[in-house]
Amino acid sequence: MLELRPAGDRGLAKLGWLHSRHSFSFGSYYDPEQVGFSDLLVINDDQVQPGRGFDTHGHRDMEIFSYVLEGALEHKDSMGTGSVIRPGDVQMMSAGTGIRHSEFNASRQELVHFLQIWIIPNRQGVTPRYQQQRFADAEKRGRLRLIISPDGAEGSLSVYQDARVYAGLFDGAERQVLTLPENRHAYVHVARGALEVNGQRLSAGDGARLRQVRELTFAQGENAEVLVFDLRPVELPSY
């Protein structure tokens, strides 16, 4: 069964320099029906104006990854990491015992549009770590590419949780069936464009919860970019 999370129902933060839509409760937005799903806690769809961004702030015991759709995102952290993340790049930060970082639009002219996603880890107090990997469009064209997994399989980034994340690009007749292990939940987030998921039409910003589903079929894409989360069969995140 597919439970739709319409894009227009998401939380909204408008701060002048930032336009952010929240799939789940975050910051000043709280909805008791939208406090995450399985170990997935946050999906923020952020657009940051040129030269602006998030000043240095701290995290701990959280798996945080950024997925850039347009523009360039500059990252600096207390581990000494400095990088610029562009479309096709995936950044994963395990906050562990504590990390401080900043994120800024690396351009003085162009908007940066990215997803920031938080996953609850299955262990606390780990040594903080930073990972970044590029996944070319060709690897995602008409198929789902594993980008995050517990063991770094297939060149994916590692996460401290029994969770796997796939990214795909679909247009026209391109079609993919993802078969999940038994007794799993899944969450689908359409980053842009539109496509059908198990026959249900989803558009940019839409999400969908799927419980105890073995097969997910992606078809009839219109310039679609999608993220798929293979998750433990629990309803809500727990710390």
230 pLDDT higher than 80: yes
Which of 5-9, 100-104, 227-231 shows the lowest per-residue confidence on average (mean pLDDT)?
Answer: 100-104
Write down the pLDDT at residue 57: 78
Question: Residue 148's pLDDT is what?
Answer: 98
Start-to-end CA distance of the chain, whole Å, equals: 27
Confidence of residue 53 (pLDDT cuts 50, 70, 90): confident
CB atoms inside a 10 Å sphere around CB 158: 16
* Per-residue pLDDT tens over the stretch 130-180: 999 999 999 999 999 999 999 999 999 999 999 999 999 999 999 999 999
- Tell me the domains of the chain and their CATH numbers: 2-231 (2.60.120.10)
Query: Average model confidence (pLDDT) for the chain?
Result: 94
Q: What angle do CA 168, 75, 52 make, to 5 degrees?
A: 100
Q: Which two tokens stand for residue 132?
A: 């970044």
Is the confidence at residue 37, as pLDDT, over 80? yes
Q: Beta strand 215-231 with 185-197: parallel, antiparallel or unpaired? A: antiparallel
